[in-house]
Amino acid sequence: MMKKDTRAEPLNSGGHVMEVINENSEVLVYIDEHRKFLVKPRVKPKLETDRGIINVEDLIGKKYGDFVLTSLNVKAYLLKPSISDYIEKFRRITQVIYPKDLGFIVFKSGISSGSIVVEAGTGSGVLTATLAYYVRPNGKVYTYEVRKEFIEIAKSNIKMAGLEKYVVFKNKNIEEGIDEESVDAVFFDLPMPWRLVEVAYKALKASGTLTIFVPTMEQLLKSINSLRQHKGFVNIEAYDTLLRLYKTVPGEIRPMTWTVAHTGYIVFARKVVI
């Protein structure tokens, strides 16, 4: 029997291709920058906001890109959630990797759809979700985490983003070794990555990329030294990224007063044969 396609159905409406929202769809209800709500018509029948109430079941049959009026007559736009919308709503129980670094990490690591990657530690699952999003549908993320309670929270975050099929969670100290072999990329966001250079080397394919994220210069220095001493890595590069958010209000277009000044340093290196 053919499996029922539960995705929203595309529709041509007034020259716009619009997807119809069904009972399995997820919707980002956007009122303004401070009022964005992720809802599932099946799960949450009513959305109560300080700008009025929306009967979520009534969204079924409406289209992404369209709007509804709240009980207080305020426009609420119906958007299809993106990976960044989901991550914004993740429960955070650890320090996480920020959007300004996530995009650059994905780009420089060279991963793409079908890549097999290893990551430690899972933490809140922000990097896990990002990697899973880009390796799907045929790739996999193997993520290692020592704290069982963190895995449970990361799992529920990843499930919320609909990416659970692409992630294998491992409650294991990565210092004991990586079970997977010939992987395309390895990512470390944990306190002592310089102790794990040989662990990454063994798991990586020749030419594969190791990415290390560390918040302090002391950790950056130790990581670079360890990579240089190992001799099995070349193209060792270190970065920090700066990203400025702008106000987009007409007449006030300028950088925001407050910004994320520092998150961490990112090191990339490529495995070669010794």
Ligand X SMILES: C[S@@+](CC[C@H](N)C(=O)[O-])C[C@H]1O[C@@H](n2cnc3c(N)ncnc32)[C@H](O)[C@@H]1O
230: nearest Cα among 196, 185, 186, 267: 196
Specify burial of residue 204 (Cβ count, 10 A radius: 0-12, 13-18, 19+): buried
101 lines the binding site for ligand X (CB under 6 A): no
95 lines the binding site for ligand X (CB under 6 A): yes
Residue 171 backbone dihedrals phi, psi, to 5 degrees: -85, 80
97 lines the binding site for ligand X (CB under 6 A): yes
Q: Which stretch binds ligand X (CB under 6 A): 32-40, 60-68, 187-195, 201-209?
A: 187-195
Task: Give the residue nearest to ligand X (CB).
Answer: 121
Please state the separation of Cα 143 from the chain's center in Å: 13
Which member of 120, 135, 210, 220 binds ligand X (CB under 6 A)?
120
Q: Which stretch binds ligand X (CB under 6 A): 33-41, 42-50, 121-129, 238-246?
A: 121-129
Using alpha carbons, list the distances in angstroms from residue 21 to 24, 133, 163: 8, 22, 20
For the chain, the C-alpha Rg in angstroms (whole number) is 21
Which residues in the 166-185 window bind ligand X by CB under 6 A? 173-175
Which residues in the 140-159 window bind ligand X by CB under 6 A? 144-147, 150
The answer to whether 149 and 125 are in contact (CB under 8 A) is: no
Instruction: Select 92 or 231, whichever has its Cβ closest to ligand X.
Output: 92
123 lines the binding site for ligand X (CB under 6 A): yes
Summarize as ranges the residues that interact with ligand X (CB under 6 A): 94-97, 120-121, 123-127, 144-147, 150, 173-175, 189-191
